[in-house]
Amino acid sequence: MNKPAAGRIKRSWARFKNRRRLRDATVYDSAAARTAGDTVWSKAFICGMADVYPPRTSSDLRELVVSMDHYERQIRRSEKHVTGVYIVGSHVQEFVETIFPRIRKKIVIVTGNAVQSVPRAALGSQERAERFLDDDRIAGAWIQNLDIEHPKAFPLPLGLDFHNLHINKDSPWNDQADVLTPNQQERQLQTIAAAAPPFDQRSPDVFTHFTVGTQPAVRSHWLDHFLGKDFAQTPGGVIKRADLWNSMARSQFVASPPGAGMDCHRTWEALVLGSVPIVQHFAPMAPLFEDLPVWQVEDPSHVTAENLRQKADEVSTKLREGRYDFCKLTVGWWTDQLKRQTARLLGL
């Protein structure tokens, strides 16, 4: 990589880290994380899948909004045979080190609301991650940005971002004068999806629009592949989110490289809008996309004009035959899966 390019990436990454620190000051009410349409949404899993959860959270908050003692008190009070516990990904290590040793009952772990990969990265090693999951007190673990394969660990979608515009009316994505509630954003997304042309009538190209700051090396590699290609749209600059969604809904494919973690909000936006997201294959996360029109590639160089035509034909056939399960785009589907898989693991 030449020095000017490396410098741009370094500056972009620094700006991203600064934004994360600024956002850390914004606390989000967990009880507000509900939408009428039940669209899969990052924060909806907080109280939607767990019995014990922090009443207030902030994405990647490095300081606890509630003390760790909150978890211990609530778990002890629970009368359930197995208690679901939601932990922000960036707090998993502290939970494992300070609270987990004092817990005597079985729990199901649900983690997310952070770009922190879990459990290997969060706990510092494969050995510590496996030891935690192997513990008999862990009935199962549902994890956003899962980074390990284990029989008791299941990937959970990052889902949509309905929180940013709810707490930040000055977001560059916002085209409204005020904040937008999650329900308003969901309706906007559903309206755009309903008006979008069928897959076969869309432009047979890859809509490519993302910043490189979140994972500079990986995302720069992806962007370099699509720039200048006849089969790719690569608009620059900031695009208001409603305009972005409308553009995505006109293309058959949407490039969705890893975000700050392996999963990306763009992937789930594309699916709801009826497009096929192209994502980086990562074995622990692969089950997320079973029975969904997602193209997993080892490298963006696998995306060629010929491969696009073949993939479009494959998707069209499966759509006609009803071979996709779009119920996976709802929080309810994942909640049911948690109950079903937990019962299986417990032999119930």
Alpha-carbon distances, residue 13 vs 9, 35, 334 (angstroms) = 6, 33, 33
> What confidence score (pLDDT) does residue 47 get?
76
SS (H, E, C) 122-144: HHCCHHHHHHHHHCCCEEEEEEE
Give pLDDT, residue 28. Answer: 57
- Of 26-30, 77-81, 96-100, 304-308, least confident by mean pLDDT is 26-30
Q: How far apart are the first and last CA of the chain?
A: 55
Structure tokens at 241: 């989110």
- For the stretch 327-344, pLDDT in tens is 999 999 999 999 898 888
Determine the Cα–Cα distance for residues 288 and 154; give it in Å rounded to an integer.
9
- Beta pairing partners, 279: 296
pLDDT at 13 over 60: no
- Residue 200 is encoded by which pair of tokens? 């076969």
**For residue 139, what are the CA distances in angstroms to 79, 271, 316?**
16, 31, 39
Q: Where are the domains of the chain?
A: 26-158+333-346, 164-326
Task: Give the DSSP per-residue string, 228-246.
Answer: T-TTEE---S---HHHHHH
* Band of pLDDT at residue 22, cut at 50, 70 and 90: very low
- Percent share of the chain, pLDDT over 70: 83
pTM metric for this prediction: 0.88
Return the pLDDT at 229: 98
Angle at the Cα of 286 from the Cα atoms of 285 and 292, rounded to 5 degrees:
120
Say what the pLDDT of residue 72 is. Answer: 92
Q: How confident is the model at residue 64 (pLDDT cuts 50, 70, 90)?
A: low
Phi, psi of 13 (to 5 degrees): -65, -35
Residue that has been written with the tokens 């890859």 in this structure: 206
pLDDT score of 289 more than 80: yes
- Prior bond of 119 cis (ω within 30°): yes
Contact 105, 135 (CB under 8 A): no
Instruction: With a cut of 60, say whether residue 59 has pLDDT above it.
Output: no
CA-to-CA distance for 279 and 263, rounded, in angstroms? Answer: 9
Non-local (6+) Cβ contacts of 281 within 8 A are 296, 297, 298
Q: Which residue has the higher pLDDT, 131 or 179?
A: 131
Most distant pair of Cα atoms in the chain: their distance: 60
> How many Cβ atoms sit within 10 Å of the Cβ of residue 334?
23
Residue 173 has a pLDDT of 66
Interhelix angle 241-248/265-272, rounded to 10 degrees, is 60
d(CA 193, CA 207): 16
Tell me the pLDDT band of 171, cut-offs 50, 70 and 90.
low
More confident residue, 268 or 167: 268
- Pick the range with the lowest mean pLDDT from 19-23, 134-138, 280-284, 295-299: 19-23
Identity of residue 145: N
pLDDT: is 7 or 220 the higher one? 220
**Average pLDDT over all residues of the chain:** 87
Q: What is the mean pLDDT of residues 20-33?
A: 50
CATH number given to 164-326: 3.40.50
- 228's torsion region: left (phi>0), alpha (psi -120 to 50) or beta? left
